[in-house]
Structure 1
Amino acid sequence: MIEAPHYTSAGAKRDANFALPADYFDGTVNEPVLHQAVKVYLNNQRQGTAATLTRSFVSGGNQKPWKQKGTGRARQGSTRAPHWRGGGIVFGPHPRDYRTDIPRKVKQLARKSALNARAREGALHVVERFAFRAPRTAQLVSLLGSLGLGGRKVLVLTAGSNLDVFLSGRNLPAVEVLPYAEASAYDVLWSDATVVEEGALTGVMPEPLPEEAEEPAGAKPTRKRSTAKPAKKSAKKAAARSAAKATKKKKATARKAAAKKPATKKSAPKKKSAPKKKKGSK
Structure 2
Amino acid sequence: METTVYNAKGQEKGKIELPAFFNTEISSVLLHEITTAYLNNQRAGTHKTKTRGEVSFSGAKPWKQKGTGNARAGQRNSPLWRKGGIIFGPQPRDYFTKMSKQKKKQSLSMALAAQVQNGNIIVVDSVKFDEVKTKKVAELLKNLKVDGKKVVFAIANDASFRLAARNVKNVVVENIKNINAYQVLWADKLVITSEAIEILKERQAA
| TM-score, normalised relative to structure 1 | 0.66
Q: Structure 1 CA distance, aligned partners of 2:171 and 2:145?
A: 14
2:115 aligns to what?
Answer: 118
Q: Give 5+ residue unaligned stretches, structure 2.
A: 201-206
Residues paired across the two proteins, number:
200
Q: In the alignment, does 2:22 pair up with 1:19?
A: no
User: Residue by residue, what CA displacement relative to the aligned partner does 1:43-68 show, whole Å, maximum 9, x if unpaired?
Assistant: 22122222221111123242222222
Q: Give 2:50's aligned amino acid.
A: L
Q: Structure 2 CA distance, aligned partners of 1:172 and 1:68?
A: 66
Cα shift at 1:167: 1.4
Cα shift at 1:125: 0.7
Larger radius of gyration: 1
Q: Structure 2 CA distance, aligned partners of 1:176 and 1:201?
A: 17
1:5 aligns to what?
Answer: 4
Q: In the alignment, does 2:102 pair up with 1:105?
A: yes
Superposed CA RMSD: 1.9
State whether residues 65 and 77 of structure 1, in contact with CA within 8 Å, keep that contact through their aligned partners in structure 2: yes
User: Residue by residue, what CA displacement relative to the aligned partner does 1:173-218 show, whole Å, maximum 9, x if unpaired?
Assistant: 21111121211111112210001101222359xxxxxxxxxxxxxx
Say which SS state the counterpart of residue 181 (structure 1) adopts: coil
Counting only pairs closer than 5 Å after superposition, residues 1-282 of structure 1 correspond to structure 2 as 1=1, 3-14=2-13, 17-22=15-20, 24-158=21-155, 160-203=156-199
Q: Structure 1 CA distance, aligned partners of 2:51 and 2:198?
A: 59
Q: Structure 2 CA distance, aligned partners of 1:131 and 1:54?
A: 56
Q: Structure 1 CA distance, aligned partners of 2:38 and 2:92?
A: 19
Q: Structure 1 CA distance, aligned partners of 2:181 and 2:84?
A: 45
Q: Which of 1 and 2 has higher RCO (CA within 8 Å, sep 6+)?
A: 2
Question: Once structures 1 and 2 are overlaid, which stretch shifts more, 130-139 or 88-97?
Answer: 130-139
Q: Give 5+ residue unaligned stretches, structure 1.
A: 205-282
User: Residue by residue, what CA displacement relative to the aligned partner does 1:10-56 show, whole Å, maximum 9, x if unpaired?
Assistant: 32024x5433112x112422212211221121122122222221111
1:233 aligns to what?
Answer: none
1:260 aligns to what?
Answer: none
Q: Structure 2 CA distance, aligned partners of 1:201 and 1:146?
A: 21
Cα 1:68–1:13 shift into 2, 3 Å: same
| TM-score, normalised relative to structure 2 | 0.88
State whether residues 4 and 122 of structure 1, in contact with CA within 8 Å, keep that contact through their aligned partners in structure 2: no
Cα shift at 1:150: 1.0
State whether residues 161 and 179 of structure 1, in contact with CA within 8 Å, keep that contact through their aligned partners in structure 2: yes
Say which SS state the counterpart of residue 194 (structure 1) adopts: strand
The percent identity for this pair of structures is 38
Say which SS state the counterpart of residue 154 (structure 2) adopts: strand
State whether residues 8 and 143 of structure 2, in contact with CA within 8 Å, keep that contact through their aligned partners in structure 1: no
Q: Give 2:179's aligned amino acid.
A: A
State whether residues 7 and 124 of structure 2, in contact with CA within 8 Å, keep that contact through their aligned partners in structure 1: yes
State whether residues 64 and 78 of structure 1, in contact with CA within 8 Å, keep that contact through their aligned partners in structure 2: yes
